Structure 1
Amino acid sequence: MKGKIGIAVGLAAGYVLGARAGRERYEQIKAKAQDVWELEPVQKQVGKVTELGKSAALSVPSVVWDSAKKVAQAAGKKGSAGEKLDAAVAEGENAVSDVRKAAERDARKVADASAAADS
């Protein structure tokens, strides 16, 4: 959170200073910010967060797919219609829990990677 606040304050200060100093100073600030953005350590962290975001975005759908298969299998088991429904509902509740856990885990990974990039 500190990093996000720092970025917001920095951007606001840059805007105010740029507006007061005129277009030439704004261009200088913009060029310096671009130079910092292109530094190897910054780009390294950007790459890490990007890759983590991609892997996180791919893991939740696989959990959803696996959960859907489990619900379908539970509904297809032998027994009466009521037993099949009960099995499918129970498996559906487990699936919701699994998807929630996967999404929370991935959100923590992205937040941790973002915090590491801020520091």
Structure 2
Amino acid sequence: MTIPVQIKRAYESPAESDGLRVLVDRLWPRGLSKASFQHDLWCKDLAPSTDLRTWFGHKPERWEQFRRDYTAELQADAAGRLMDDILSAAQGRTVTLLYGARDTEHNQAVVLARVLADHARRH
């Protein structure tokens, strides 16, 4: 199955083209109201482990190691089941992974988007 996966900062306005909106931060994004934030799922257990997230600290010089370590975390059976849940909930629609980080190139959603797209193709 092929399914479009895109990423978007949680602070950007929702769009019809977002499809299934999935927050992928372990912590709720700062300054966003839980009552008004538009999302379909919050998959905090798909976010990097606390230790990995803390070590990375959004430092671009740690990006390659973070990407490898987070990809390894996403190979766990529990992560695979969560990705299956996302794909099932999407029902063929686009999946938009929402994240709170300021850095649009070095964040967990970039890694997860690639892994989720690969997972969808294999299942």
Same fold, judged at TM 0.5 (above): no
Higher Cα radius of gyration: 1
TM-score for the superposition, normalised by structure 1:
0.30
Question: Which has a greater percent of strand?
Answer: 2
More helix by share: 1
- Normalised TM-score (structure 2): 0.29
